[in-house]
Amino acid sequence: MDNIKERKSQSNTRRIVIAVVAVLIVLAGVILFILPEILEKRRESLIEKKLSLGQKYLSEMDYENAAAAFSEVIKIDDKNMGAYFGLGKAYLELEKWPEATDSYNKVVSIDDKNIEAYIGLGDAYVGQEEWGSAVDGYNNAIGTIMDLVLADTPEIAEETLPDRKKILSVANLADSEYMTDDELRLIEALTSGKDKEESANQETTVAGNYTAGNTWNIIKKRNTAMKNDITELERTGGNTEKYSDYLSWYVTVTVQIVEPSIGIPIADAEVIYPNIENPALSPKKVITDSNGIAHFEARNKSTATLTITASNHGERSVDIDVNTDLSEAEPVQIPLYGDISNVNAKAVEEWKEEFNGHTYCLIKPDSIVYWREALVICEELGGHLLTITSAEEKDFIIEYLSRQEIHKNIGNWPVNIGAYKIEGDDTWKWVTDEDASYLNKELAGKIRENYYADRDPLHIIKLQVANTGSEKEGYSLGDSWWEENTYNAIGFVIEWDT
């Protein structure tokens, strides 16, 4: 009986042990199953708290503690993009450029479409004066925005690219610099409202709050870094070819303002040119140096309209076709003279006369023509202002101008010829560069100075054949030479070399 009881007791003990073990096994299984989830939630909660703390420190501009908070997150999760991004921002503010670079590189290794990280990379490289890498960072940001915004935007035709000035003006963008054609398309798309979310704020794009204005700020940062990199590459003999797409947007144009025909430089001339930085503003101007040289920037593949003025000269508008060749070429020479588009100055066939292989003709325009304009008209007619290189030629000219049918058209007024000198010079010259020894010998002691002669640094000679009698008594003509300013004369004599 006792044995039976003992056996039952042992059996019950075993059942209890088994039950306890089973419970323990179940509990262990439950714990093993839910513990990772509990730990992960605690881990996520800790990360969230540290990230929030880091953001709080950033907002309070406590960058040291912000960096510490984000670093603690990374110790817990070395792939946490938000922590690396926050750490990059903190390091930027602390001017710890290499550390900021490492942090932002971690971000883009996780998310290669992170626009802000690329901007941060550019800023960090700027801090280290690594200009080329900074350009790459900003370009990656611009390219990412471009990929998002221009995915379904049609190509812009090449002929519409000059409208870029209008696009930038509409977007209220100043200080425009180098841009590629695709970047122009990007600015146009952001400016015109293409690819914007219809139901959202009209300043919000599919790129994520990137308007024309803040995209342009990235482009301006890129351009500054690019300029610095180009300067450094040029200083060290490096290759700037990688920037050719950007450099082709603008061309530095060099012009030389000169006297027509004779090519003498005009100093202190005012050259007014288009304001390519902001079309909404007035045109810009530059003053020529002592060699008549002026430099300005113009949009490549465009027409730059210049307005040129100088003391004692007329005003002239000139169109220059701008291309990259101009940046390497000799200065573009621009003769400065007044408008002759409406001047009727024809050579009358009946007034033409030949002498010693040359043809001469009095030109009497229908409106006032100054000496410089007379030079240009003569060139357009295939000749040049009269030159006199011998006594025989002078006698012929005096006889020609004395003829009644010629003289009655000019009266006793002097006419322009091709003699000139610069104030301060001792000798006179011909506009054709012919030998002027006869001219200087003839003029010695015979010049009659005009009151206005000193108003223009360019002095000229006018020839006068004056009538001292009357038609009934017959003409009694004498010649005289006037040293004058370049102001108007009643006419001029053209000469063709045949």
Secondary structure of the chain: what % helix, strand, coil (to 5)? Answer: 45, 20, 35
Average confidence (pLDDT) per 10 residues, the chain, 498 residues: 55 66 65 61 78 90 93 89 93 95 94 91 95 93 82 48 49 58 74 46 45 81 89 88 75 91 93 75 89 88 88 88 78 91 86 94 88 92 94 91 86 88 87 93 74 66 68 48 71 91
**Of 250, 266, 269, whose CA–CA distance to 258 is shortest?**
266
DSSP secondary structure code for residue 367 in this structure? S
Q: What is the pLDDT of residue 30?
A: 58
Residue-wise pLDDT tens digits, 248-300: 667 889 999 999 999 999 999 999 998 776 555 678 899 999 999 999 888 77
Sign of the torsion formed by the C-alpha atoms of 275, 280, 283 and 286: negative
CB 247 within 8 A of CB 205: no
DSSP secondary structure code for residue 205 in this structure? B
Tokens read off for 498: 């045949």
Which CATH code fits 250-335?
2.60.40.10
**Of 403, 402, 416, 419, whose CA–CA distance to 465 is shortest?**
402
Domain ranges of the chain: 12-111, 122-247, 250-335, 349-497
The one-letter amino acid code at 364 reads: K
Residue-wise pLDDT tens digits, 332-347: 999 999 888 888 888 8
Sign of the torsion formed by the C-alpha atoms of 309, 314, 315 and 316: negative
Q: What is the pLDDT of residue 199?
A: 31
CATH topology (fold) of 12-111: 1.25.40
| Homologous superfamily (CATH) for 349-497 | Mannose-Binding Protein A, subunit A (3.10.100.10)
Question: What is the rounded distance in angstroms from the CA atom of residue 217 to the CA atom of residue 184?
Answer: 14
Q: What is the pLDDT of residue 362?
A: 94
Question: What is the rounded distance in angstroms from the CA atom of residue 54 to the CA atom of residue 10?
Answer: 63
DSSP secondary structure code for residue 316 in this structure? E
Task: Please give the full DSSP string across 216-256, using - where no structure is assigned.
Answer: HHHHHHHHHHHHHHHHHHHHHT---GGGHHHHTTEEEEEEE
